[in-house]
Amino acid sequence: MLAVARTLVHRDLLLALRRRSDVATALLFFVIVASLFPLGVGAEPNLLRAISPGVIWVAALLSSMLSLGRLFAADHADGTLEQMLLGAAPLGVVAMAKCLAHWLVSGLPLVAIAPLIALQYDLAPGLYGVLALSLLLGTPVLSLIGAIGAALTLGLRGGGVLLALLVLPLYVPVLILGAGAVEMAGAGLQPDGQLLLLGALLVLAAAFSPWAIAAALRISME
């Protein structure tokens, strides 16, 4: 199973490298959305520091959603997904491997570039690590939850709108905890509680989401 998962992750990463424009679109969207807020609300430093955690987290959340529709669409279109359903490897393992590849392509770059975006908001240097850690714990949860919605809406007309309606309410706890961790650190308090809750959400999502994704894929393929 580990060999299958490793092969699937390697395959999806190679496909992503061949479609660099899709990866660049999500990353550019994140940069543009996060950069527009200082222009819209003004250059008052205290205001920018106050809104920066929420703005960066909302931009990361919306950016991660851009690529969810393509998570299973290409494999569904060329028949690869049907072969995966019929294969010997558990479908939950396949789903987990695809979610990992999705996060490496769409989530990890956001974690890397977020501290640079935070420079626009005059965020205190000591908060960059908390921001990056909160995104490192939260963005995989976004990929896992979003994959459930992507599997349920696979092949549906207008599935993008339905996907957003399904997953956005489930993203709210991750958004609150992620932005709250940075805000707590900025107020001089310990953000350990929010970060531990994010870690717990990641463990729960990693344990149960692959099998929910597998069930949703079987329903969509019937």
The pTM (predicted TM-score) of the whole model is 0.89
pLDDT value of position 158: 67
| Per-residue buried b or exposed e for 10-22, using 16+ beta carbons within 10 Å of the residue's own CB | eebeeebeeeeeb
Residue whose C-alpha is closest to residue 154's, from 70, 65, 79, 86: 70
Question: Chain-wide mean pLDDT for the chain?
Answer: 87
Q: What does the pLDDT look like over 143-160, one tens digit per residue?
A: 999 999 888 888 777 677
* pLDDT-derived band at 179, boundaries 50, 70, 90: very high
* Residue 110: alpha-carbon gap to chain centroid: 9
d(CA 146, CA 51) in angstroms, rounded, equals: 25
Q: What does the pLDDT look like over 107-140, one tens digit per residue?
A: 899 999 998 888 888 888 889 999 999 999 999 9
Which H or E run contains 29? helix 20-41
pLDDT value of position 58: 93
pLDDT value of position 125: 85
- Phi (first) and psi of residue 124, to 5 degrees: -60, 140
d(CA 66, CA 146) in angstroms, rounded, equals: 10
d(CA 70, CA 150) in angstroms, rounded, equals: 8
Residue whose C-alpha is closest to residue 35's, from 46, 185, 132, 43: 43
Instruction: Indicate whether 42 pLDDT > 80.
Output: no
* pLDDT-derived band at 187, boundaries 50, 70, 90: confident
